[in-house]
Amino acid sequence: MLHDRVLVRTDIEEGERRSSGGIVIPATAAVGRRLAWAEVVAVGQNVRTVEPGDRVLFDPEDRAEVEVRGTAYVLMRERDLHAVASERLQGSEDSTGLYL
Q: Could you count the other beta carbons within 10 Å of the beta carbon of residue 55?
A: 18
- The domain tally of the chain equals 1
Residue 99 falls within a domain, yes or no? no
| pTM > 0.95 | no
Q: Which domain holds residue 50?
A: 5-13+31-87
- Domain containing 64 — which CATH number? 2.30.33.40
pLDDT exceeds cutoff 60 at 54: yes
Residue 23 falls within a domain, yes or no? no
Residue 60 falls within a domain, yes or no? yes
Residue 41 falls within a domain, yes or no? yes
Written as one string, the DSSP assignment of 13-81 is: PPS-EE-TTS-EE-TTS------EEEEEEEE-TT--S--TT-EEEE-TTS-EEEEETTEEEEEEEGGGE
* Structure confidence at residue 41 (pLDDT): 93
Residue 71 falls within a domain, yes or no? yes
Residue 97 falls within a domain, yes or no? no
Residue 92 falls within a domain, yes or no? no
The rounded mean pLDDT for the chain is 77
Residue 43 falls within a domain, yes or no? yes
CA distance 78 to 54: 13
pLDDT exceeds cutoff 90 at 93: no
- Section 44-49 average pLDDT: 88
Structure confidence by residue, pLDDT tens digits, 56-79: 888 887 778 888 888 888 898 988
